[in-house]
Chain A
């Protein structure tokens, strides 16, 4: 009679499988690219930013802008020096194709990179840390529904949907006067030429920061965008390093401190660890 092999312990059946899974899990920690090691090697990171885009990028040396401070803080924590590459085309719209920038110029992009489908077709983005969209500025308690008289308008960022806003304001039967710049908008509001003002949320917060006027994001049915930091597609290691640093900065309150310097209210900040912000992208307008 042939000897019967002793029965194998059921756990042993799964040992090779566990080994394979363990090996593949270890492989998943391999760096998929050299983007971070390149930055580490020279201890320097080039960041493409718009020349002027208040409050994200300003012309003041003491307060250079929210995104400038944020990028410097991220770089400092990683032991990098920052080389800011100014690009005047960047602030004009949200489409990176128009900015004429290449990987040779910068490894990172900041200063109002909107997390939209268009942008994500060209760039990889971090989860948004700021939200923006059209905002209404008016006296305390005033809204677009209660306002009487003309409303001043300044477009600010050109990437926001002006057609959608136009339709929305027409629906509310409001008389709208377009102003040349944010200062003219404020002067018009203060001089009672306008009963209220509509402009991009971040610039509204900055322009009207020291006034008694209140600013409110218009939200749905209008679009709102998350702003994040952009990377060239495939630069995963660099993106992961920046995302981890950003999360640390949220946890220890650094982001909130920088935001306070630029009068950016907490309701416009977007903590990337919150699912709503982590999923990121643009919030499309709701159809009514």
Chain B
């Protein structure tokens, strides 16, 4: 009796790609399902538009009305509600993207990450699945803000909606990658929560989210009105340009050159993703 040993065939490129894609899908689905089942995250996603738009927006709206019972003063083609609306979308994306990286700590803590890492999937594939999962959840949370567009008086056209969704997704990819970088350094749940808040809120508040650097003013006038360090922070915060691009889409108002905004966003997303690839090799 002769024993014939069949040589295992090396799978073709298409098969390998298909297997990697299935792996990405599996990780993506797990991330999305887990996020959507997390009631705490959902409540957080819903509370931000409610607090920022309903309470803060309504409260400050009269001061941006152009005039109250006096002469016309503030000259901007939007209301305060409309002004903070795109910023709250970015805030929701920022929070959700960075928080989604908690799953990495979770997986590391319970040994799931080790199991995934020893699977035939490459590290880049695993990272892609995680980033896409986080980005998808973040876009869904961004959509929670878009739902209240009627309340702030923004008529969403299909073109606006598509552009906003694309921008939200691109931004979410970059910010999820950023969350993964943070999760690689901060290994505990509590530490991650504190650290991410320490990053998110300063990033958000120095991104021209709650107050405008009046575009009607020259740079010299701006520096007279605001302290130089604040103007510096606002102008050098990449999130400023993300919020500005979102404002351009939703209320047709830009404080900065829209081309520059898209260039900054592109560079930010590519840079953060490459950094995440680099960091994930050490995971």
Residues of chain A having any CB pair with chain B under 8 Å: 13-14, 16-17, 20-21, 23-25, 27-30, 32-33, 96-97, 100, 102-104, 117, 120-124, 232-234, 236, 239-240
Which residues does chain A contribute within 8 Å of B140, judged by CB atoms? 17
Are B68 and A21 in contact (CB-based, < 8 A)?
A: no
Q: Does B23 contact A (CB under 8 A)?
A: no
Which residues does chain B contribute within 8 Å of A103, judged by CB atoms? 65, 67-69
Q: Does B66 contact A (CB under 8 A)?
A: yes
Residues of chain B having any CB pair with chain A under 8 Å: 33, 36-37, 39, 42-43, 45-46, 49-50, 54, 58, 61-62, 64-72, 75-77, 79-81, 140, 143-144, 147-153
Give the distance to chain A from B113, nearest Cβ to Cβ, in Å.
Answer: 23
Which residues does chain A contribute within 8 Å of B81, judged by CB atoms? 32, 234
What CA separation (Å) do A21 and B79 show in the bound complex? Answer: 24
What CA separation (Å) do A173 and B37 show in the bound complex? Answer: 73
What CA separation (Å) do A35 and B132 show in the bound complex? Answer: 44
Which residues does chain A contribute within 8 Å of B58, judged by CB atoms? 32-33
Are A232 and B77 in contact (CB-based, < 8 A)?
A: no
Q: How many contacts between A and B, using CB within 8 angstroms?
A: 94
Are B151 and A21 in contact (CB-based, < 8 A)?
A: no
Which residues does chain B contribute within 8 Å of A23, judged by CB atoms? 46
Are B65 and A232 in contact (CB-based, < 8 A)?
A: yes
Are B148 and A122 in contact (CB-based, < 8 A)?
A: no
What CA separation (Å) do A14 and B39 show in the bound complex? Answer: 11
Are A24 and B39 in contact (CB-based, < 8 A)?
A: no
Q: Which residue of B lies closest to A31 (CB)?
A: B151
Give the distance to chain B from A24, nearest Cβ to Cβ, in Å.
Answer: 4
Are A13 and B36 in contact (CB-based, < 8 A)?
A: yes
The SS class assigned to the A binding surface is helix
Known A-B contacts: A27-B50, A234-B65. Give 9 more (CB < 8 A).
A21-B147, A24-B148, A29-B150, A29-B151, A30-B54, A117-B77, A121-B66, A234-B62, A240-B153
Are B79 and A234 in contact (CB-based, < 8 A)?
A: yes
Which residues does chain A contribute within 8 Å of B80, judged by CB atoms? 234
Give the distance to chain A from B134, nearest Cβ to Cβ, in Å.
Answer: 16
Are A233 and B65 in contact (CB-based, < 8 A)?
A: yes
Q: Known contacts A14-B36, A100-B71: does B148 contact A27 (CB below 8 Å)?
A: yes
Q: Which residue of A lies closest to B35 (CB)?
A: A17
Which residues does chain B contribute within 8 Å of A96, judged by CB atoms? 72
Q: Which residue of A lies closest to B58 (CB)?
A: A32
What CA separation (Å) do A69 and B123 show in the bound complex? Answer: 71
What are 24 sample pairs from A and B whose C-beta atoms fall under 8 A apart?
A: A13-B33, A14-B36, A24-B46, A24-B148, A25-B148, A27-B54, A27-B151, A28-B149, A29-B150, A30-B54, A30-B151, A32-B58, A32-B81, A96-B72, A97-B72, A100-B71, A103-B67, A117-B77, A120-B77, A121-B77, A124-B79, A124-B153, A236-B152, A239-B153
Q: Which of B54, B66, B75, B144 has the most CB of A within 10 A?
A: B66
Which residues does chain B contribute within 8 Å of A20, judged by CB atoms? 42-43, 45-46, 144
Are A236 and B71 in contact (CB-based, < 8 A)?
A: no
Are B36 and A122 in contact (CB-based, < 8 A)?
A: no
Are B64 and A234 in contact (CB-based, < 8 A)?
A: yes
What CA separation (Å) do A204 and B126 show in the bound complex? Answer: 70
- Select one of B37, B72, B152 contacting A32, CB under 8 A: B152
Are B36 and A17 in contact (CB-based, < 8 A)?
A: yes
- Select one of B46, B49, B71 contacting A102, CB under 8 A: B71
Which residues does chain A contribute within 8 Å of B151, judged by CB atoms? 27-30, 32
Q: Which of B46, B67, B69, B144 has the most CB of A within 10 A?
A: B67
Q: Known contacts A27-B54, A103-B68, A104-B69: does B36 contact A16 (CB below 8 Å)?
A: yes
Q: Which of B49, B71, B148, B149 has the most CB of A within 10 A?
A: B148
Which residues does chain A contribute within 8 Å of B72, judged by CB atoms? 96-97, 122
Are A16 and B66 in contact (CB-based, < 8 A)?
A: no
